[in-house]
Amino acid sequence: MMASITKNIRPPEKIKYWNELDGSIFLSKIFSHPVEIRKIALFSLRVENDQPCVGIGFDIPEFPDNLPEKWKKKDITCAGLE
């Protein structure tokens, strides 16, 4: 049996940029500007019932402008995040 609880919770202030998410230090290293949240191409979703987190993997339309040297050598052509 599944129970459902409804609460009136005020949503947090809207986040406008991927860089504003907790733990997004990586994005600030590969982009020299804030990356606006827009449409994404979702390719994975991970939910584990014994952990307090959800993992998502997606592609964003923007391409990083501050690539690490090892990425430049691999001829990367898209930006995918997990």
Q: Where are the domains of the chain?
A: 18-81
The predicted pLDDT at position 76 comes to 67
Do residues 81 and 57 touch, judged by C-beta distance below 8 A?
yes
What is the rounded distance in angstroms from the CA atom of residue 26 to the CA atom of residue 13? 22
Collapse the DSSP code of 71 into the 3-class scheme (helix H, G, I; strand E, B; otherwise coil) and give the result.
helix
pLDDT tens per residue across all 82 residues of the chain: 344 444 454 556 788 888 887 777 888 888 899 988 888 888 888 888 888 888 888 888 888 888 888 877 776 666 554 4
What is the rounded distance in angstroms from the CA atom of residue 59 to the CA atom of residue 42? 7
